[in-house]
């Protein structure tokens, strides 16, 4: 039997899941997921690798109108596609779509803040800026160099003015496979 994807559903999923945990525990740290994306076939192999790791038939996703991506995720994970308002995971191939989407996504409730969405956002990694972030897990004087789009993404999320502890988690992925997580309580302190 010939396989289209070389991504191992057990071992590669475990490794990528650990990378995602590390990224969320260290906001703004960039970690390469290129080795996992290279094992996937399709227009957005990094999104597919994340979907293979996190999605199953008990969670939902939204692919922002990317029909091919949605079909691939459904066939690989048996997850169901929902609207942006109902989806647990959103795959955003263009950062410019974020402002409209952010008004629609689940942000959890005061009683159940964990019932919020996680957005995987494609960010152009060529232009970069230095950031000083603040929030849980961020050392006070730690400086991170991230794609310039991180400033836009964090500002769009801040405009929603979520009541603590509500919010959405963001994961930026660049074209060259660098992933950085920006958990719901992390914000910009300074850009330089």
Q: For the sheet with 144-147, list strands across it.
A: 144-147, 128-134, 187-191
More confident call, 125 vs 81: 81
pLDDT for the residue 140: 79
**What digits encode the pLDDT tens for the residues 28-44?**
999 999 999 999 988 89
The larger pLDDT score, comparing residue 9 to residue 22, is at 22
pTM: 0.92
pLDDT for 1 equals 47
Contact 12, 39 (CB under 8 A): yes
On whether the CB atoms of residues 142 and 132 are closer than 8 A, the answer is: yes
DSSP 133: E
């Amino acid at each position: 039997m010939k396989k289209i994807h070389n991504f191992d559903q057990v071992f590669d999923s475990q490794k990528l899941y650990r990378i995602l945990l590390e990224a969320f525990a260290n906001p703004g740290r960039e970690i390469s997921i290129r080795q996992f994306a290279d094992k996937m076939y399709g227009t957005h192999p990094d999104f597919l690798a994340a979907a293979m790791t996190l999605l199953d038939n008990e969670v939902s996703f939204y692919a922002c109108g990317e029909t091919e991506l949605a079909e691939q995720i459904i066939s690989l994970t048996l997850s169901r596609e929902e609207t942006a308002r109902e989806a647990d995971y959103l795959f955003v191939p263009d950062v410019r779509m974020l402002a409209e989407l952010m008004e629609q996504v689940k942000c959890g409730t005061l009683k159940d803040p964990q019932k919020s969405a996680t957005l995987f956002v494609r960010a152009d990694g060529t232009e970069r800026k230095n950031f000083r972030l603040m929030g849980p897990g961020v050392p006070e004087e730690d400086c991170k160099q991230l794609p310039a789009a991180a400033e836009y993404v964090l500002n769009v999320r801040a405009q929603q003015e979520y009541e603590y502890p509500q919010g959405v988690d963001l994961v930026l992925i660049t074209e060259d496979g660098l992933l950085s997580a920006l958990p719901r309580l992390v914000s910009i302190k300074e850009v330089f």
